Amino acid sequence: MKFVVKLFLFFLYAGLVTGLHAEKISFSIDPGAITPTTDTLTWKFLNQLEYKEQDHEIYGKVYLPEFSNAIFKMAGKEIIIKGYIIPVDNKNYALSKNVYAACFFCGKAGPETVIGLQFKKDPGRIKMDSHATIKGRFIINATDVENWMYLLDDVEILNIREK
């Protein structure tokens, strides 16, 4: 603790001696050159839903999502979210809250913990469980039981870390 205090005092003194004060520093940044890296949606946010049982002509009884008003307000907007890339087949991917061993496909999580991805351009081969920050247009699906409940369209990978 003493070291941290000494370090703080050193930088405070150095700033006073050299005349570096925050109000004297100015710079400009082109907003178009910045790629945001903070999430605009979180997995906790996506959990704001309930399920209703409904009859389906092919599958009998199914559970369809009833999204919160907050989720409805995000529909159609460009969002950023972090998660694990899961290859579904040779050309389709999903983003999961959890790694594959604990994801929705293995029965260890609900469908609200996975998002279907439609990339803007071919992402090439992505290794399973690569941790990624992605952006895309957020789409919700409350009726089609053969599609993802959450989807992202025009997806771009902002950052990826392969295992």
What are the residues facing 56 on neighbouring strands? 60
What are the residues facing 149 on neighbouring strands? none
| Domains of the chain, each with CATH number or no CATH | 31-161 (2.40.50)
Which one-letter DSSP state was computed for residue 128? Answer: T
Q: What is the pLDDT of residues 97-130, one digit of tens each?
A: 988 877 766 667 788 999 999 999 999 889 999 9
| Phi, psi for 14 (deg, rounded to 5) | -60, -40
Please give the distance of CA 160 from its chain centroid, rounded to a whole number: 12
Residue 139 has pLDDT above 90, yes or no: yes
Q: Residue 36 and residue 135: Cα distance in Å, rounded?
A: 9
Residue 17 has pLDDT above 60, yes or no: no
Encoded tokens for 54 = 């409904």
Most confident of 89-93, 111-115, 131-135: 131-135
Residue 2 has pLDDT above 90, yes or no: no
Q: Which long-range contacts (CB under 8 A, 24 or more apart) does 65-71 make?
A: 65/111, 65/112, 65/140, 65/142, 65/149, 66/142, 67/140, 67/142, 70/45, 71/45, 71/46, 71/140
Q: What is the pLDDT of residues 27-76, one digit of tens each?
A: 333 444 444 456 789 999 999 999 999 999 999 999 999 999 999 999 99
pTM exceeds cut of 0.75: no
What are the residues facing 67 on neighbouring strands? 49
Q: How many residues belong to the chain?
A: 163
